[in-house]
Every structure is written in C-alpha cells, then in structure tokens.
C-alpha cells in the first residue's frame, strides 16, 4: 500500500467512524437534563408563594420533585429542545395556606403540557403549549 493510499484509507475510515458515532448517539449527550435538580423561581413571570419551594429533578427518564405541598413523579423524554412528560402523579395532601393548591395545580399543568426547554444563563426554562414558562435555577 502506498503512502497516498494509506492516507486516503485512514481519512475515509476516520470520517466513517465519526458519522457512525453520530448516527448511534455515541459520544453525544442526548439528555442534558439527566442528573440535574432545579428550584422554581417563576411561573409565567410570577414568583412562587412565600413559604413554598417547588422543585424538579431529572434522572434516567424520571421526573419528580416537590410541587409546593405535595411530591410528584412521572416520566419525561428529550429530543433536541423538545421535552415531553407523561404519567405525572402526586401525593394527595391538602394544604390549607391560601393559594398553595392553586399554585401547585398550575405548576403541574405547566409540566404536563411541557413542549420546549432551554438551558441559558444558568437557568432552566420549560415552556408549556401556550408558551408560558417555568423558570428554574440549579438546586444546591
């Protein structure tokens, strides 16, 4: 094999391996949310009620956290910037503080109707079907 044909062989092999890895997802991070945890700072430009902490965690296709009163959990899928959730269920504690149950329902409705997510400036933004955002900061 001549030097020129070796060079061509290695170049073609390298290019094919790169395409194969990309096609199989090898070396590509397909779920940037996996293993992360977040605290809600705003939903549709409204801060959470005083004394409530709403969270979301993502682990191996599972989503869960606190909705301010109850705990919730379900599944999620990521494809590009698209996010879908499914089978979100929650505990059934009643909270007596004014507005907490309504806030919880709005939060869970937004998660159940999640369409797009964005990671920018250290924040997670999840937009529901009407474009209203949930804005989170990293949980420490």
Containing structural domain, residue 7: 1-29
The pTM score is: 0.77
Helix (H) or strand (E) holding 115: strand 114-120
- In this structure, are 99 and 128 located in the same domain? yes
- In this structure, are 55 and 108 located in the same domain? yes
- In this structure, are 71 and 131 located in the same domain? yes
Q: What is the pLDDT of residue 94?
A: 86
- In this structure, are 20 and 48 located in the same domain? no
- In this structure, are 14 and 48 located in the same domain? no
Number of domains in the chain: 2
**Closest of 70, 71, 74, 42 to residue 61, by C-alpha:** 74
Block means of pLDDT (10 residues each) for the chain, 140 residues, are 51 45 51 97 95 97 96 97 95 90 95 96 95 95
- In this structure, are 65 and 127 located in the same domain? yes
Strands (E), 35-113: 36-43, 55-59, 62-66, 71-79, 82-90
List, for residues 40-80, the tens digit of each pLDDT value. 999 999 999 999 999 999 999 999 999 999 999 999 999 99
Q: What is the pLDDT of residue 3?
A: 53
- In this structure, are 16 and 51 located in the same domain? no
- In this structure, are 42 and 22 located in the same domain? no
Measuring CA to CA, how many Å separate 62 from each of 2, 23, 65, 95? 54, 25, 10, 25
């Amino acid at each position: 094999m001549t030097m020129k044909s070796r060079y061509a062989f290695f170049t073609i092999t390298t290019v094919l391996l790169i395409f194969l890895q990309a096609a199989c997802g090898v070396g590509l991070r397909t779920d940037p949310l996996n293993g992360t945890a977040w605290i809600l700072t705003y939903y549709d430009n409204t801060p959470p009620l005083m004394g409530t902490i709403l969270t979301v965690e993502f682990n191996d296709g599972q989503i869960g956290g606190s909705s301010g009163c109850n705990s919730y959990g379900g599944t999620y899928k990521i494809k590009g910037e698209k996010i879908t959730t499914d089978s979100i269920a929650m505990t059934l504690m009643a909270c007596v503080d004014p507005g907490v149950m309504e806030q919880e329902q709005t939060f869970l409705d937004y998660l159940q109707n999640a369409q797009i997510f964005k990671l920018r400036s250290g924040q997670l933004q999840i937009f529901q079907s009407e474009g209203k955002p949930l804005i989170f900061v990293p949980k420490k």
